[in-house]
Amino acid sequence: MPSPGAATGSVRRLGVLTGGGDCPGLNPVIRAVTRRAIQGGLTVIGIRNGWKGLVEANAAPLDLQSVSGILPKGGTILGTSRTNPYKRPEDHARVLETMRRLQLDAIIAIGGEDTLGVATRLAKEGVRIVGVPKTIDNDLAMTDFTFGFDTAVNIAMEAIDRLHTTAESHHRIMVAEVMGRHAGWIATYAGIAGGADVILIPEEPIDVEAVCELITQRHSRGKDFSIIVIAEGARLKDSAAVGTEEPRDEFGHVRLGGIGHLLGSLIEQRTGYETRVTVLGHLQRGGSPTAFDRILGTRFGVKAVELVLEGTFGVMVSLQGNRVVAVALEEGTSRLKTVDMELYNIAKIFFG
Ligand code: F6P
């Protein structure tokens, strides 16, 4: 028996899902997928809560009415989860069974490394899938940018601007912890845009002495306040990233957070300067997407459907330069994209 979605012939019923952490720009993709698919004569089925919706057969049709007005909305109207259908064999079987029952000929999976990792495995089993890369962390390989990143950077930049005025008034050190599990893209971009005095990222273990030295030097030239931006995944030299070991999600990730507070107390102890810590957390993921993210999401959604209509599967859409193209899903999920050190070296010119 052929695998669901591996059936020959053209696609008539298309499923769409969003998995992993939410991010601004998901709704523009869902809207674009639905509009372009309906225009192409397809029936669109919205799968609820990522892969969980296929495990639990939780899905409903999407029409023009369901996607009306969602372009500026943050989050995802489909809901999301971090369910990994490969964790339990019965879940994997249910995914295939639901596809059969709902007569889904193909799926557009919108997600990050984990969701698209599952898509890659299903594609290898013959399921007809097109991926759409998503993450505020911007750490997916084979695409210059993911939507959500620009919005997160703008939120973090505004926070850094606000921290500047209070830091200056109180002559304090302000540590701003931003998201970035494996890569410090948000920290680097927001730090450069906000004029941070030090930017710390997972790619370079932190030398606390060197950070304190930079701050002390600033003080000696009359700058008695400093802004330090740190990615949640950054770690001290010879230590692991800071977070809770349990609970882990179904893809084995620990919950990060806390490096900002640890660094803040070390700086205060060693320099004697009063220090405060702000953890931006999920504020970076909520709210309305920027124009850039709305447009990128729209372009990704349209391209994903066009790939389905022409019968190209096992690929994800990607931004290369200013062109949206298709790349093999496997290539996009086989490694992470860490911060470009040329850019980080530009940021370093402004340290201290
Ligand atoms: O992957 C995006 C991300 O925002 C990471 O930077 C962060 O570690 C993680 O999601 C947190 O996600 P949640 O709190 O939803 O589990």
**DSSP conformation letters of 232-284:** TT--BTTSPPPEESSS--TT---EE--HHHHHHHHHHHHH---EEEEE-GGGG
Residues 102 and 204 in one domain: no
| 92 and 196 part of one domain | no
CATH code of 118's domain? 3.40.50.450
CA 67 to ligand 1 center in whole angstroms? 26
pLDDT of 2 reads 44
- From the list 1, 60, 73, the residue with the least C-alpha distance to 31 is 73
253 belongs to a structural domain: yes
Q: Do 206 and 155 meet the contact criterion of CB atoms below 8 Å apart? A: no
Q: How far apart are CA 145 and CA 123, in angstroms?
A: 23
pLDDT value, residue 3: 47
Catalytic position from the list 137, 139, 150, 293: 137
Q: How many domains does the chain have?
A: 2
Q: What is the pTM of this model?
A: 0.94
CATH number at residue 170: 3.40.50.460
| pLDDT at residue 8, as a whole number | 53
Which residue has the CA at smallest separation from atom 8 of ligand 1? 181
What's the gap in Å between 222 CA and the centre of ligand 1? 38
Q: Which domain holds residue 194?
A: 152-285
Q: Measured from the CA of 112, which atom of ligand 1 is nearest?
A: 1
What confidence tens digit (pLDDT) does each residue in 263-322 have? 999 999 999 999 999 999 999 999 999 999 999 999 999 999 999 999 999 999 999 999
Q: Note whether 274 and 323 are same-domain residues.
A: no
Is residue 295 situated within a structural domain?
A: yes
Same domain, 202 and 219: yes
Last residue of a domain, one of 261, 285, 309: 285
Give the model confidence (pLDDT) of 93-108 as tens digits.
999 999 999 999 999 9
pLDDT of residue 7: 46
What is the rounded distance in angstroms from the CA atom of residue 116 to the CA atom of residue 120?
Answer: 6
Walk along the chain (352 residues) in steps of 10 and give the mean pLDDT of each run: 53 98 98 98 98 98 98 98 95 97 98 96 97 97 97 98 98 98 97 98 97 96 97 90 78 86 96 97 97 98 98 98 97 94 98 96
In a domain, 4, yes or no: no
pLDDT score at 244: 67
Same domain for 159 and 280? Answer: yes
In terms of domains, do 274 and 301 share one? no
User: Does 167 share its domain with 259?
Assistant: yes
Q: Is residue 343 part of a domain?
A: no
Q: List, in sequence order, the alpha helices (H) in the chain.
A: 26-39, 51-55, 89-101, 113-124, 149-170, 185-194, 208-220, 259-271, 291-310, 329-333, 341-349
The C-alpha atoms of residue 218 and residue 349 are separated, in whole angstroms, by 14
For residue 172, the SS3 value is coil
33 and 86, same domain (yes or no): yes
Rounded to an integer, what distance in angstroms lies between the CA atom of residue 206 and that of residue 210?
Answer: 8
Shared domain for 18 and 134, answered yes or no, is: yes
Backbone angles phi, psi at 198, to 5 degrees: -150, 140
User: What is the CB < 6 Å shell around ligand 1?
Assistant: 21, 112, 135-137, 179-181, 232, 256, 285
Residue ID of nearest Cα to ligand 1 atom 10: 21
SS3 184: coil
Token readout for 55 is: 């495990």
Measured between its terminal Cα atoms, the distance across the chain in Å is 65
Q: Are residues 143 and 168 in the same domain?
A: no
3-state secondary structure of 303: helix
Q: Is 293 in the active site?
A: no
Residue to mutate (ligand 1; options 23, 177, 181, 186; most atoms within 8 A of CB):
181
Cα gap 279→4, rounded to integer Å: 44
